[in-house]
Amino acid sequence: MKGIVARVTGSWHEIRLEDGTSLPCRTIGKLRMEDIKTTNPVGVGDEVEVQYEESDQFKGVITEVLPRRNYVVRQSPRKKHDLHLLAANIDQAVLVTTIIQPKIKLGFIDRFLLMTEPHNIPVVIVVNKNDLFGEEELEMFGGLKYMYEDIGHQVISCSSISEGGSDILKNMLTDKTTLVAGQSGVGKSTLINAIQPGLSLRTDDISDHSGKGQHTTTFAEMFTLDFGGYIIDTPGIKMLSFNNLEPLDVAHNFKEFFEKSSSCRFDNCLHRNEPGCAVKAAIEEGEISYIRYEHYLQILGEIEDQNFWERHKDL
Which run of H or of E encompasses 172? Answer: helix 163-173
- pLDDT for the residue 57: 79
Task: Render pLDDT for 27-55 as a digit per residue (tens, 0 to 9).
Answer: 876 665 555 677 888 999 999 999 998 87
Query: Has residue 214 got a pLDDT over 60?
Result: no
Residues whose CB falls within 8 Å of the CB of residue 154, separated by 6 or more in sequence, listed in order: 124, 125, 172
The correct answer on CATH 3.40.50.300 for the domain covering 247-311 is no
- SS3 readout for 254-309: CHHHHHHHCCCCCCCCCCCCCCCCHHHHHHHCCCCCHHHHHHHHHHHHHHHHHHHH
The correct answer on CATH 3.40.50.300 for the domain covering 74-233 is yes
Query: Has residue 308 got a pLDDT over 60?
Result: no
Give helix then strand counts, H and E, for the chain: 8, 13
- pLDDT for the residue 234: 86
Band (pLDDT 50/70/90 cuts) for residue 148 is: very high
* Domains 2-65 and 247-311 in one fold: no
Q: Supply the pTM of this predicted model.
A: 0.88
Span between the terminal Cα atoms of the chain, in Å: 53
Q: What does CATH list as the number for 2-65?
A: 2.40.50.140
Highest mean pLDDT of the ranges 33-42, 73-82, 182-191: 182-191
Q: 222, 6 in Cβ contact below 8 A?
A: yes
pLDDT averaged over the chain?
A: 86
Beta bridge partners of 64: 49
Question: Domains of the chain: which residue ranges?
Answer: 2-65, 74-233, 247-311
Query: Has residue 91 got a pLDDT over 80?
Result: yes
3-state secondary structure at position 30:
coil
Alpha-carbon dihedral 71, 75, 81, 87, rounded to 10 degrees: -30
